[in-house]
């Protein structure tokens, strides 16, 4: 806004200077015509004075000074006009510079606006990812609790061997091996449910583990 205000002020000043130049040109033409007329009058008066008594010499000298002053006036007006033209050129250069600054600020403003828009889109996308992550976390926690419950339930259903003096170490090892194999089979079934479950697909293509209750024996 400040640059635009300065730009308008400079344009107004240029218009004033142009009006002054036009006025000075008109005055210059007028003064030139006056000088020409005075020169003619000077010639006429001089010729008349030469015919008169030499006592009118003082009037002739005064008239000569006036004519010399008027003859120098166009030169002074030309100098003033040149000075005004130089000032006008300086103002025009300042206006061009202000135009460049305004264009640069407009481009910068457009770039900042596009950057802000891009950041807003990134924020929205990150909020969506955060929401999906929270959903994933809740579902994983629920699946983990369900899996632990099913494993605990399975352990309770597996018959435990009765230790007595007649149980051999080989029977205990065999029973432990069967228990581990059963646990592996159960985990494998849960994993296959996790991979092939249609309900495990998230909003962004993620696969959430979904477990079903263990079959009751």
36 assigned to some structural domain: yes
55 part of a folded domain: yes
What tokens does 86 get? Answer: 């130089």
Distance CA 55, CA 60 (A): 10
Residue 158 within any structural domain of the chain: no
pLDDT at 208: 41
* Residue 207 pLDDT > 50: no
Copy the structure tokens of residue 53.
């008594």
Residue 146 lies in a domain: no
Does residue 155 lie within any of the structural domains? no
Residue 192's pLDDT is 61
Q: HEC states along 92-116?
A: HHHHHHHHHHHHHHHHHHHHHHHHH
Total number of domains in the chain: 1
Q: In this structure, what DSSP letter does residue 201 have?
A: B
What is the structure's pLDDT at 180?
Answer: 67
Sign of the torsion formed by the C-alpha atoms of 114, 120, 122 and 124: negative
Determine, yes or no, domain membership for 190: no
Containing structural domain, residue 63: 2-124
- Residue 38 falls within a domain, yes or no? yes
Tell me the per-residue pLDDT of 111-154, one tens digit each, with 9 for 90 and over: 888 888 889 999 999 999 999 888 888 888 888 888 888 878 77
For residue 78, being part of any structural domain is answered with yes
* Residue of 45, 42, 98, 94 whose CA lies nearest to 68: 42
State mean pLDDT over 180-203: 57
């Amino acid at each position: 806004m400040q640059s635009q205000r300065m730009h308008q002020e400079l344009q107004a000043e240029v218009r004033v200077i142009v009006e002054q130049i036009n006025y000075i040109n008109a005055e210059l033409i007028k003064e030139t015509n006056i000088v020409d007329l005075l020169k003619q009058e000077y010639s006429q008066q001089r010729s008349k004075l030469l015919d008169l008594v030499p006592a009118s010499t003082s009037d002739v000298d005064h008239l000569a000074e006036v004519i010399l002053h008027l003859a120098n006036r166009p030169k002074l007006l030309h100098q003033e006009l040149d000075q005004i033209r130089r000032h006008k050129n300086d103002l025009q250069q300042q206006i061009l510079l202000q135009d460049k600054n305004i264009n640069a600020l407009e481009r910068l403003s457009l770039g900042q606006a596009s950057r802000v828009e891009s950041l807003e889109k990134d924020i929205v996308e990150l909020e969506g990812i955060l929401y999906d992550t929270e959903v994933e976390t809740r579902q994983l926690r629920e699946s983990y609790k369900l899996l632990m419950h099913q494993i605990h339930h399975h352990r309770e259903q597996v018959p435990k061997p009765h230790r007595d003096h007649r149980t051999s170490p080989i029977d205990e090892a065999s029973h432990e091996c069967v228990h581990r194999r059963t646990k592996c089979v159960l985990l494998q079934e849960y994993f296959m449910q996790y991979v092939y479950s249609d309900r495990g697909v998230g909003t962004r293509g993620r696969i959430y583990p979904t477990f079903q209750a263990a079959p009751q024996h």
